[in-house]
Amino acid sequence: MFSNQWCNIKALPGANRLIKHLSGHRVPMALASNSPRENIETKISYHQALFAYCISYAGWKESFSVIIGGDEVRLGKPSPEIFLEVAKRLNVDPSSCLVIEDSLPGVTAGRAAGMEVVAVPSIPKQPHLYTLADEVINSLLDLRPEKWGLPPFQDWIKDTLPLEPWHIGGPVVKGFGRGSKVLGIPTANLSTEGYGSLLSEHPSGVYFGWAGLSKRGVFKMVMSIGWNPYFNNTEKTIEPWLLHNFDEDFYGEELRLIIVGYIRPEANFSSLQSLIEKIHHDRKVAEEALDLPLFSKYKDDPYLKSST
């Protein structure tokens, strides 16, 4: 049953983008996993057609110069053996390698191999466990290759990262009561019920796009998804801020969102004032970006104007 589900496993946000970027710049890549080699190749075989050279398309398997499974070494992670074998097959010094890992054993193995390590924690709200890593990032969307001597991404536009648009909607619900009262920033919260898989697919952070209210029109929107570390939420929330001054509350009205871009990862702040300042900066970034044709075209999407 487990094996039959491999075709449904989605890539982590930013994975396709990163592989395409590094492959396009001819950066050698390797895949080292404790899973058996056969399982690895079966799983990644469903991730195809990432980019084209002339008229031929390549997928994940073709993108990696080396693929090593846990059944090909004596000791798997946290032993460094699998990463040292990667360096040997790539014919490079371990110190010139960058490991990107989501697991604690993987981080331990990378450091023991003498490599630099970026951790993308698979355990929510637990970045403090990954202290051995050289850097801990929220998602692959936040990786800055130039920090590690690699070619930088060129797809950021006015401090935003364009995304394949995705949709979410539902009636406006009452939140924690802190948006207007504590922050002076009224959010039009959505219930997370029924959106478990969507929340797991999209990393915590600040996004932007367009919001449609069934009885009021379409408005610019900036939105946070996550645990809001400053307030230490116990559950992941969806908190859109419609960039318009409304004269009244509209709880219960149908709200539809099209998310078109990403601004930054979720972060904690030393003071309430610094949090408020950052939120207003996010607003400015979103407002300016949504005036660009790349993003403004979604304002007329029929999804936003549907009442059901």
Task: Catalogue the active-site residues.
Answer: 239
Per-state percent for the chain, helix, strand, coil, to nearest 5: 35, 25, 40
Nearest 5°: the CA angle 260, 263, 266 is 120
- Provide the token pair at 115: 């490599």
Cβ atoms of residues 65 and 97 within 8 Å? no
Whole-number Å distance between alpha carbons of 31 and 43 = 12
Rounded to 5 degrees, φ, ψ at 165 are -55, 140
Neighbours of 93 (CB within 10 A): 10
Angle at 270 between CA 265 and CA 273, to 5 degrees: 90
Smallest CA-to-CA distance from 259 within 226, 236, 292, 290 is with 290
- Hey, what long-range contacts does 79-83 have (CB within 8 A, 24 or more apart)? 79/109, 79/112, 80/109, 80/110, 80/112, 80/113, 80/114, 82/32, 82/34, 82/109, 83/32, 83/109, 83/110, 83/113, 83/115
Dump strand ranges (E) for 73-202. 98-101, 116-119, 135-136, 161-173, 189-190
Q: Which of 277, 265, 289 is nearest to 137 (CA)?
A: 265
Q: How far apart are CA 278 and CA 29, in angstroms?
A: 36
